[in-house]
Structure formats: structure tokens, C-alpha cells
Amino acid sequence: MRVHLKSGIVVAGIAATAFTLSACSSEADPETSETPEAEATSSVAAASGDAVDLSGVCPADIKIQTDWNPEMEHGHLYAMLGDEYEVDANNKSVTGPLIASGEDTGVDITILSGGPAVGYAQPNAQLYSDPSIFMAYVGTDEAIAHSTDLPTVSVFQPLEKDPQMIMWDPATYPDVASIADLGEAGTTVRVFPGGVYIDYFVGAGILSADQVDTTYDGTPAVFVSEAGKIAQQGFASAEPYIYENEVDAWGKPVAYELINDAGFPKYAASMSVRPADVTEYADCLTQLVPIMQQAEVDYYDGTLKDSVKDLVLELVDAYDTGWVYSAEVADYSFDTMIADGIAGDGPDGVLGTFDADRVAELFSIVDPIFTEQGIEIADGLTPEDLYTNEFIDESISLGF
């Protein structure tokens, strides 16, 4: 059974001390930097399927740190791996040529597992503890919380909505249609400790403090034993299917609402780099980000869905972390990501862009929460410091 610990904000400076520094990433050759005209051509080439050569401007091995065990939410990354890959079961990683629309780009990509593979350290902590890692998943609330010790800039967001949700038993609460309704009903809501969204829900009056139970451990035992009397956090892309079909003691549907739809508009798992790398690897990102956009399109249009699913299931077995992930859950996850708008274009109709108003709204929500908790935010930090849309190809969209 899934034990999902990726929702809390951790003071990653502590987590980072558990890891030793490894070799630095390959440096780009400054003499190969492209002109703006060449950069634009490369971006169009990535979208059109023409061959793109990333060698010389990107690290020879583009290492990307994810936030959890292999799962379909990460499909946009696995879609860039060709057939010739190598699995490192000890380090819980997979490496192979980075493929763009069927063409080898001249560099490798390594996708690093998170969660138990790294002692539950956050990806931004890994990004700083291992300089060979080029990108990492970072949520916007995490980027704000760690703006002083682990600053990051997001360059592409693969998820339009955070898949985190609160679920409940619709048979017990037939009149509940939202998290706010759970608040009015006085229902106990069981969550992991440290979730900023819960602090917001309490502060905004959506839930009351005495409703929140922070003893959730990722297992279904308490939810089942309470026979539907409590609500519980989870991920819309997995738990609803698991509880109905794979938890025999429950075996019936659950209802849920995404935390995004309840008023906490974070971007989850955004592709992020260290601030200096935005400039140092600008030529790389100009070509790489459109490749990432197109890979996500090819994944969600079904072209690469089956090959990604097969790889995810292979990696789950090879890594053997205790993570249980069935083919049926994988299919459910893929379908739900589309149906619930978790994967989708931004308000501008472009895949992967950050909406300035949305980032500013989240900033205004979490700033007082972090101040109250004693979390130091970088002096002068603005919402615009957290992301850039400069590398996005505005011609690429999912169409939904």
C-alpha cells in the first residue's frame, strides 16, 4: 500500500546534510552558445520533430530528481527515454539517450527516484547536495519556503493542477461535495503533518483547527476502521482507484476534491534549476524545454502512454522499495490526470507556462503562514523570482 510522504514542506537544509557532494555536472562550452535566431530555430525544431543536438550546450547527462517512486505522473520525463536505457537498481535511477520526437539529441537523461530512494529528502535538497543534478521537481510553496537556503527557478510546469486531494466516503456524507463542506460538517480530516495547504485551509476558515488530525501515515487502516466517519488526504491520481479496487477492507468509491480547486493554487512538481543555471545554461534550456513540452504532448495523446507505463512498472519492480503500483493504477492515473485537468494547458492555451496572477496569489497565501512559522523568506523575493516562461515554446499545447 502506498505510503506517500511528498506533500510536506521540510526544512531541506537539514535533509541536505544527509548526502555527500558528488562530481559537478558537465559544463557547456561557451563558444558554442547560439545566437537568438539560432535559439528560435532550435525551439521550432524541437516542436516539429526535426533532430536537435543538445551536446555542447547541455550537460552530457541531464540528471533530473523526481519527488517519488516511478509513477505515471512522471510520464512526461520517461517519455524522453528511448529503448536503449540502463536501470541502476542500487541508486534507483534509469539512464539512456535523451530522445526528442524519435531522434537522439546527443546527450543522456537520468531520471532519479525520490521518496524512499533518498531518505524522503525533498528534490530541492538533492539539487543542492549533488551538483551533478541539473533539474528537480519543486512546488511553488517549497520554492518560497527555501528561497534563502535552496533557491530555485522553475522553467516548465508539467502539471496544471496539484494532484493532492482530500477524500471522503460519499455514503456517509451524501451532502458533502467539497472540502469546505467537510469543514461545515465538522468532519475530522486526517493528513500528514507539515502540509502548508492545511494551514491555509485553517487560516481561511475552510476547516477548523480542531478538525485536523496530523497522524496520517499513508496507510488505509484508520480510514477503514473509522468506517467512513473521517476524511483523509491523498492523491487523486491513485487513491480513489486503490481504495475501491485494491483495499479489500474498503472496496467502494470515495469522493474527493483537489486542494487546487479548494483554493490552494500551487504548481506542484515544476521543473526547476538553480538560479545561476538559468543564465549559464540558457542555450540548453532554450532547446530542452520545448523538447520536454513535446514529450508531454506525445505522452498524453497516447503515442507514448503504453511504453511509459511498461517502463514505470519495470522500474517499480527493479527498485523494490516497497512501493506497490499496479498496471491498473497506472491506467487510472493516466486517465484521471486528463479527466481532472491535472495535466492541461495554462489559461493562455500553452503547455507549461506559469500564470503570473496565480503565482502571486499563492505567494500572498503562504507568506504570512511562513512568517508565523518562523520560516525565513529571502529579502526582496517577489513572485516573479520563482519562475520564468522565457524558454517555453508558445506553439506547443495539449489541446485540453
**What CATH number is given to the structural domain containing 235?**
3.40.190.10
Q: How far is CA 33 from CA 30, 46, 274, 361, in A?
A: 5, 17, 19, 36
Who's near 125: CB < 8 A, 6+ residues apart? 10, 12, 13, 15, 16, 19, 150
**Is 5 inside a domain boundary?**
no
Would you say residue 288 lies in a domain? Answer: yes
Question: In this structure, are strands 255-258 and 164-168 parallel, antiparallel, or unpaired?
Answer: antiparallel
Please give the Cα distance from 299 to 223 (Å, whole number): 34
Rounded to whole angstroms, the Cα distance separating 218 from 233 reads: 9
Is residue 64 one of the residues assigned to a domain? yes
Q: Are residues 97 and 171 in the same domain?
A: no
**Shared domain check, 154 and 17:** yes
The verdict on 293 and 147 lying in the same domain is yes
Q: Does 21 have pLDDT greater than 60?
A: no
Taking the CB of residue 227, how many other CB atoms lie within 10 A of it?
11
Report the chain's terminal Cα–Cα distance, integer Å: 32
pLDDT in tens, 172-199: 999 999 999 999 999 999 999 999 999 9
Asked which of 258, 278, 307 is the last residue of a domain, the reply is 258
Tell whether 234 is covered by a domain: yes
Same domain, 108 and 231: no
Whether residue 19 is found in the same domain as residue 53: yes
Q: Which pTM value belongs to this model?
A: 0.88
User: Do residues 246 and 295 both lie within one domain?
Assistant: no
399 within a domain of the structure (yes/no): no
Over its C-alpha atoms, the chain yields an Rg (Å, rounded) of 21
Q: Kindly state the average pLDDT of the residues 277-304.
A: 98
Boundary of a domain, candidates 241, 258, 275? 258
Alpha helices in the chain (DSSP H): 12-16, 36-48, 75-78, 123-129, 140-145, 179-185, 196-203, 221-225, 239-245, 275-280, 282-300, 305-319, 327-339, 356-373
Using CA atoms, how far residue 356 sits from 42, 125, 269, 348, 361, in Å, is: 26, 26, 17, 11, 9
**Residue 338 backbone dihedrals phi, psi, to 5 degrees:** -80, -50
pLDDT in tens, 73-117: 999 999 999 899 999 999 999 999 999 999 999 999 999 999 999
Evaluate if residue 3 carries a pLDDT over 80: no
C-alpha cell at 144: 518560497
230 and 370 belong to one structural domain: no
Cα–Cα distance between 58 and 282 in angstroms, integer? 9
Domain contains 396 = no
- The answer to whether residues 115 and 68 touch, using CB atoms and an 8 Å cutoff, is yes
302 belongs to a structural domain: yes
For residue 230, give the 3-state DSSP assignment: coil
In a domain, 4, yes or no: no
How many Cβ atoms from other residues are within 10 Å of residue 375's Cβ?
18
Listed residue (270, 277, 230, 235) closest to 256, CA to CA: 235
Q: Are residues 60 and 23 in the same domain?
A: yes
Residue 202 confidence (pLDDT) above 70: yes
Whether residue 206 is found in the same domain as residue 280 = no
324: which 3 cell numbers? Answer: 506497490
| Count: domains in the chain | 2
- Residue finishing a domain among 226, 258, 290: 258
CA gap 337, 238 in Å, rounded:
10
Asked whether residue 74 falls in the same domain as residue 36, the answer is yes
- pLDDT at residue 288 greater than cutoff 60: yes
Q: Which domain holds residue 312?
A: 12-161+266-386
**Are 172 and 225 within one domain?**
yes
Whether 128 and 57 share a structural domain: yes
Please give the distance of CA 40 from its chain centroid, rounded to a whole number. 28
The answer, yes or no, to whether residue 367 has pLDDT greater than 60, is yes
